[in-house]
Amino acid sequence: QQPVQSPQAVILREGEDAVINCSSSKALYSVHWYRQKHGEAPVFLMILLKGGEQKGHEKISASFNEKKQQSSLYLTASQLSYSGTYFCGTESGTGRRALTFGSGTRLQVQP
């Protein structure tokens, strides 16, 4: 079963912040975040392996609440280069290695 992402789409001005949420009905081993530019392949952003873990890279960070089976991606002071579609991918705790993706959040950053 696919994880549920929200919102489906976001339009921002440069410098504004955004939060993208991802939730699953299954117990999770890990949560991944990927970004896809139009016409390109998805590219890995970060992975969260432990409950309550928060990771970050520059102005993009994420949290993972293992008990609630939820993750959030935080984009701070957005830049034009942040535009694209963001996908969360979840790996269940059953030992099955396959990654299941949400339907994506389209983010558009305007000047």
| Footprint on this chain of another protein (rule: CB under 8 A) | 2, 5, 29-30, 32, 34, 40-44, 47, 49, 87, 89, 91, 97-104
Residue 4 or 19: the one with the smaller Cβ distance to another protein is: 4
Strands 105-110, 9-13: pairing is parallel
Residue 103 or 110: the one with the smaller Cβ distance to another protein is: 103
From residue 63, alpha-carbon distances to 4, 38, 79 in Å are 16, 26, 21
Residue 41: CB atoms within 10 A of its CB come to 7
Residue 13 or 38: the one with the smaller Cβ distance to another protein is: 38
